[in-house]
Amino acid sequence: MYKKFTELVFRNRFCVNSNLLLKMKLSFVLSILIVFQLKAESYAQKINLTVKDAPLSEVIYQLRKQSGYDFLYNNSSLKDIKPITLNAVNADLLEVLNKCIAGQPLQYAVNNKTIFITRKPVSAQAEQVTTISGKVTDDKGEPLVGVSVSVKNGGSTTVTDAGGNFKVNVADTKRILVFSYVGFETAAVPLNGRTTVNVVLKPETQGLDEVVVVAYGTQKKSDITGAVSSIKAGAIEDMPVVSIEQLLKGQAAGVQASVSSGTPGSASNINIRGVSSIGASTQPLYVVDGLPIAGQSIETDFSEARTGMDFINPDDIESIEILKDASATAIYGARGANGVILITTKSGKIGSSTTTFTASSGFTTMANKIDMLTTRQTQEYWELAKARDGQVIAPLNPARLDVNTDWQDVTSQTALTQKYNLGFQGGQQKLQYYLSLDYLDQDGLLKYTKYNRYSIRGTLSSQVSDKLRVENRVTITQSKNDGAFTGGQGGTANATGATQRILQAPTYLKVNSKDPGIDPETGEKYIDPLVILRDLSDDIKITNITEQLTLKYNITPSLTFQSMAGLTYRFFDNDQYQGAEYAATKSDTRITAKVRSNTTTNYINENTLTYKKKTGSHNFTFLLGNTLQQEVMSGTTITAIDFPNTTTGTNALQNAKEATVSSFKQQWQLESFFGRVNYDLNGKYLLTATLRRDGSSKLAAGNKWGTFPSVALGWRVSEEPFLKKADWLSNFKVRASWGQIGNSEIGVYQTLSTISSGTNGFDNELLPYYTLDRYGDPNLRWEISQQTDLGVDMEFLKGKISVTADIYDKRTKDLLLAQPTSLSTGYGSYLTNVGSMTNQGFELTVNYQVMQKKTFQWTSNVNFSILRNQVTDVGDVGIIGVGQAVDGKNPRYLAVGKSIGTFYLVKTAGVWQLGEEAEAAVYGAKPGDWKFVDQNNDKVIDNDDRVFVGDAVPKYNIGFSNTFKYKKFDLTVLLTGDFGAQVLNAVKPNLWLARENGAAAYDLEAWSPSNPTNKLAAPSIHYNSEFLHDGYLENADIVRIQNVRLGYSLNLKTRKRSTIYFYFSGSNVWSFTGYDGYDPEVGNGINRGIDRFAYPRGRIYNFGGKLSF
């Protein structure tokens, strides 16, 4: 029927399969199910066919039926063709076709899934046809499947099979074969009379010709004029991390990644070239496959703040580019003030389909445990404290002196982790797909805490026509964090959370599993940290759905239009519950619950027009674009108090005796216009100029629009004649850039004054009331950062050694900052533009290919950065308190000439010693007490004696990685170091006080007549509640073995294309620090360097395997 139809319709024209016409009319259906179902095999289609003296047309019919390929030919071309006899079992399609036309006056060509069969020219028919065979492998000897093998200047085309083997017919053995494959350099191999050719393809050059993702496009590394750091998947894959932020520590110069706690599911805080804002966001902009996504801070009443980028599965990442200077980020305008992180995820590839399954499991142990005093030691400690204060301590029951409960052991566990990922990847010329399914389950170090995540990510790309390409990406992620009231860095940090009570609970108490929170000897209540973890829950569930559709249309070969539409849904649910067991330990024994539900919808449309023009030695690229973005957020909070029982938890809030409900809805819009020009002359002289204009609804009328320009110049000195012959110098490029960027990442409606409402009882009646809530600044405007960068890129010995160095000066003015108001206004503070600061620094990256032998390779990379932050203006107030308080007092203030991380504390000069009684008595002190410095000599120590001391911002950061490969083994080790910072150990005074609670072993170093130290004052039952001092300010220097990965690759003999990779990996493997707490790396942003009982960090070890076939 197929033959009759084509002959009837086309007669002597080419025969066309009706399926081909149908395909041209099919609409592009964007669905993740289709991604899964359209899993295609490449040219290596298997054929089973036995025929004897059959017409070629009949054989073609069978081949079309089995392979799905279309065949186009003229019926007259098959005249006088000899009958076909063959026996093909599980053979490749093209191998069968080559046998069919061997010795026949026919030739063919393959285009996508269509095979064209024509007669050979008369001259060609007279020539001898020779079959060339061989094998194609990579530089490690592994076979490459799907490599295109063609005869240069016309002739047959084929592809390699699963073993990398190929066969192709040539007219003579003087021709040239061309081998091309995605990710490898194209090779043109002269036959020179040979009939067997084995070819080794080299990976694409990773030096000057390496293509790097930049804003709204790609550029060759040699043409980049901005400060850009690139991280490939090989450097970050198979690491035991939850979110992408954790992958960045130590990987790029100028990027500070700090983990504030070990809470399961927590992410890192990222600062690129320092903190540039106080009242606005300090987090970088994330752009995932062209879709801008701002990291969202998630914070509850009970737990610590965390960023919201965990919906991106690290296993899906192909590469990460970090844009650091204004030239690279200015095209993102207001959203790029804190730097930009471009994330490219995996997508479909042309060739045979690949299925990858990865499974890993591991465990986490506490990285650093605080040693506690025994009960007997603690008793002696108490006696010393009360004796100094003239009191006598009541003796403990002798039986209790031998009870030594370490609540860290009681409440912690060896936390198990398991992770599974299933991926599908493949495609043909017209259609490529990628699908990833992922599951992560992570127990917390503290009992009753847990994190799990499910994610699915799919990409479908279609080359609809020669001019139109359509791509759709869908991501669905749901994460759940079973948290507890840990206190720590955020929320109700000053309340007694589990992490605080774990260290403070008396060691003489036995664990009461029958009646938790009740002393089994006395029957008295006490705050059991295990009860806090179990009975005071803080569960968070986040569902994230992202849909991104991109259309790219080539109007002409030089002019391209691209349109991207993105839609992000984010559902946030938070259930907080205070159960009966915990409530029983408090004076208010009522059971309480709070349920929060927020929904965020973000819409974005970006359109760009790109024009490329080459005129002689001049190369131009012009980009024009427009962005429209809107975000709508709404939510409801229900607080319920006094439940009759604990049966229903948060599922029946109507049963509570008291309940309050609040709700909100808010939105903001951003509109932008931007343009960029890239120019190079002879590949030596480079220019990049950018202009962006943003309009934000968050700012005041008349100030909503801002214009942000940038310009960058580059000079490839190594291309000049006087250096052209220098073989030792592969590249020498000098860069300079300047630009301005805005920042409007603040809350909505800050320009409007608001009031709050509520109800209050009066005269036995519940009456409504209204109060002044927030004063709005009607003149609120853009926060502006201006950055200058000078850089140099060098490569030596043909790329064996590469060096990149930058110095920068980043100045931010019109800081968005909360200012106090007069009490007469009724408002506490308001957000306005005031002050300025600078961030200056130096960055150095050196990559050295130490050894590149066939069986052994060693690559070493070091990145080093210096950062200096300084506040240059704070307005008329002199100093401004910022950040969160410690024990009701603010340890951090801004002042001109000081760093944003400087502490504002009373300074100590050690401890009063014996013989200094008279001098100490002037201040109401005695030997053993802290010796505070009286700055104003008024003989009184108070807040007026505070001075600026220390700095929580590290002055130096270093990352040092080494990768070793020996045959099928590989080892990667990453060391990181932070130096020149201090941390305020707010845990220490709570354990130093000789109350009836736990005491740390370092308290034994406290002053005593026999130990006249200046390091730690003697124990006392009195606590200074008037001011904070630097007696607890400690050195935060730390060196970590950050990441380790040891792997082994194995080719499975059962299938030539199958490989399995076994690996062991570790994170935070070991740390070297003199800090007395769990970890000196605590806090985020303006609150960095303040340790208030943070969730302990863990050492993570993982074992896994990856099967690819």
CATH number of the domain that 297 lies in?
A: 2.170.130.10
Q: What is the distance between the alpha carbons of residues 586 and 520, in angstroms, rounded to a whole number?
A: 17
With beta carbons less than 8 A apart as the criterion, state whether 950 and 982 touch. Answer: yes
Contact indicator for 228, 322 with CB cutoff of 8 Å: yes
pLDDT confidence of residue 993: 58
595, 575 in Cβ contact below 8 A? Answer: yes
Shared domain check, 420 and 317: no
- Token reading at 437: 């399914």
| 540 phi/psi in degrees, rounded to 5 | -125, 130
Kindly tell me if the per-residue pLDDT of 443 is higher than 60. yes
Average pLDDT over residues 718-740: 88
563 vs 646: which has the higher pLDDT? 563
pLDDT band, residue 743 (cuts 50/70/90): confident
Amino acid at 784: I
pLDDT at 155: 67
CB 339 within 8 A of CB 286: no
Co-location of 625 and 735 in the same domain = yes
pLDDT at 437: 95
Question: Of 227 and 932, which is predicted with more confidence?
Answer: 932
What mean pLDDT is predicted for residues 148-167? Answer: 79
Match 């310009």 to its residue by tokens. Answer: 711
Whether 342 and 392 share a structural domain: no
Structural domain includes residue 1038: yes
Do residues 1004 and 1062 share a domain? yes
Contacts of 115 (CB under 8 A, 6+ apart): 69, 70, 71, 72, 97, 108, 109
Tell me which range, 71-80, 448-457, 1046-1055, is most confidently predicted by mean pLDDT: 448-457
* pLDDT value for 34: 34
In the chain, the percentage of residues whose pLDDT exceeds 70 is 87
Question: Given pLDDT bands bounded at 50, 70 and 90, which one contains residue 98?
Answer: confident
| Listed range (83-92, 208-217, 733-742, 861-870) with the worst mean pLDDT | 208-217
pLDDT for the residue 1023: 63
Note the pLDDT of residue 750: 81
Tokens, residue 962: 């080494």
Residue appearing with tokens 């009195």: 1022
For 780-819, write each residue's pLDDT tens digit.
Answer: 888 889 999 999 999 998 888 999 999 999 999 988 877 7
pLDDT score recorded for residue 26: 34
Mean pLDDT of 32-52: 54
From the list 917, 896, 909, the residue with the least C-alpha distance to 836 is 896
Across the range 1012-1035, mean pLDDT stands at 83
Q: Is 234 among the domain residues?
A: yes
Handedness of CA 822, 828, 833, 838 (dihedral sign): positive
Q: Identify the domain containing residue 74 by its residue range.
A: 2-126
Separation of alpha carbons 574 and 306, rounded Å? 14
Check residues 563 and 727 and name the one with the higher pLDDT: 563
**Per-residue pLDDT tens digits for 206-248:** 555 566 777 787 777 777 888 888 887 777 776 777 777 777 8
Looking at residue 1005, which CATH number applies to its domain?
2.40.170.20
| Backbone CA torsion sign across 45, 51, 52, 58 | negative
Task: Name the amino acid, one letter, at 575.
Answer: D
Q: Mean of the pLDDT values across residues 686-691? A: 93
Position 446 scores a pLDDT of 92
Residue 917 lies in a domain: no
866-912 per-position pLDDT tens digit: 999 999 988 877 788 887 778 778 898 889 999 999 999 999 999 99
Place of tokens 């450097």: 235
- 410 or 29, which is more confident: 410
| Domain total of the chain | 3
Q: What is the mean pLDDT of residues 586-601?
A: 86
Residue predicted with more confidence, 14 or 307:
307
Residue 683 has pLDDT above 60, yes or no: yes
In this predicted structure, what is the pLDDT of residue 11?
A: 36
Final residue before a domain boundary, out of 111, 126, 141: 126
Same domain as 345, residue 364: no
Same domain, 455 and 340: no
d(C-alpha 1018, C-alpha 998), whole Å: 16
Q: Are 347 and 402 in contact (CB under 8 A)?
A: no
Residue 705 has pLDDT above 50, yes or no: yes
Domain-embedded: residue 135 = no
Shared domain for 465 and 531, answered yes or no, is yes
Residue 25, pLDDT > 60, answer no
Assess whether 345 and 367 both reside in one domain: no
pLDDT for 24: 30
pLDDT value at 363 more than 70? yes
In terms of domains, do 472 and 511 share one?
A: yes
Q: How far apart are CA 195 and CA 611, in angstroms?
A: 46
pTM assigned to the model: 0.78
The candidate with the shortest Cα–Cα distance to 863, out of 388, 359, 251, is 251
| Residue 307 belongs to some domain of the structure | yes
What confidence score (pLDDT) does residue 659 get? 86
Give the end of a domain, one of 325, 349, 373: 349
Question: Rounded distance, CA 134 to CA 851, Å?
Answer: 30
Q: Which amino acid is at 386?
A: K
Comparing 151-155, 418-422, 696-700, 1082-1086, which segment has the lowest mean pLDDT?
A: 151-155
Taking residues 143-151, report their average pLDDT. Answer: 79
Residue 844 Ramachandran class (φ > 0 left, ψ -120 to 50 alpha, else beta): beta
Last residue of a domain, one of 290, 323, 349: 349
What is the rounded distance in angstroms from the CA atom of residue 930 to the CA atom of residue 197? 83
Confidence of residue 42 (pLDDT cuts 50, 70, 90): very low
As a whole number of angstroms, the distance between CA 400 and CA 357 comes to 55
Q: What is the mean pLDDT of residues 680-700?
A: 91
Q: Is 940 part of any domain?
A: no
Q: Are residues 426 and 476 in the same domain?
A: yes
Closest CA to 497 of 247, 301, 357: 301
Tell me: do 324 and 462 sit in the same domain. Answer: no
Whole-number Cα distances in Å, 301 to 123, 491, 495, 535, 641 = 85, 5, 10, 15, 16
Instruction: State the residue for tokens 């006249």.
Output: 1012
Asked if residue 772 is part of any domain, the answer here is no
**339: part of which helix (H) or strand (E)?**
none
DSSP H or E stretch at residue 100:
helix 93-101
End-to-end Cα separation, the chain, in angstroms: 38
CATH of the domain at 10: 3.55.50.30
- Distances, alpha carbon 62 to alpha carbons 49, 65, 72, in Å: 8, 5, 14
Query: CB 801: neighbour CB atoms within 10 A?
Result: 16
- Flag whether 752 is in a domain: no
Among candidate residues 474, 489, 461, the one with its CA nearest the CA of residue 311: 474
Is there a single domain that holds both residue 336 and residue 379? Answer: no
- Is residue 589's pLDDT more than 90? no
Per-residue pLDDT at 285 = 87
